[in-house]
Amino acid sequence: MLSVLRTARVRFAPAARRMAVRSFVTKYTESHEWVRIDGDTATIGVTDYAQNALGDVVYVEVPEANTEVEAEDVVGIVESVKSTSDIYSPLSGTIIEGNANVVANTKLVNKSPEADGWLFKIKFSDKEQLDALLDATKYKQLIEDGH
């Protein structure tokens, strides 16, 4: 019986560990949004580079849940003391959530643009659109090239 229990423990422990691990991939757009991919869901916000260029953010408009969007649709606005910038959806799909915290506390975009300052979540419908997004190396090159 003991050998059966040991075998069961060994057999099931790795599966339990695999289930606990989540894999996130972060991609970027040429319009300076980051896209954190988790399965068929993506969380989107403005990059640190973008928030630095904008300066102090004073107004944020995010999309409403259950809104159907196409890639490159304008879905929100980030307004700063320097300028106003449209927020584009990098993917087609259904908006799951707009970040109400960032609407209420716009400073989150400046303080934590790639974490608490996220703007919206989307359940995307076309995985092939991910291929058009930039990886970290290509995004860094885009910035260095002055875009």
Identify the CATH number of the domain in which residue 91 sits: 2.40.50.100
Per-residue pLDDT, averaged over 67-72, amounts to 97
- The verdict on residue 3 lying in a domain is no
| Residue 30 lies in domain | 24-144
- The verdict on residue 69 lying in a domain is yes
Ranges assigned E (strand) in 32-92: 33-38, 41-46, 57-61, 68-69, 74-80, 84-88
* Three-point CA angle 51, 55, 60, nearest 5°: 65
Instruction: Examine the pLDDT at 111 and tell me if it is beyond 70.
Output: yes
Check: pTM over 0.85? Answer yes or no.
Answer: no
pLDDT bracket for residue 22 (50, 70, 90): low
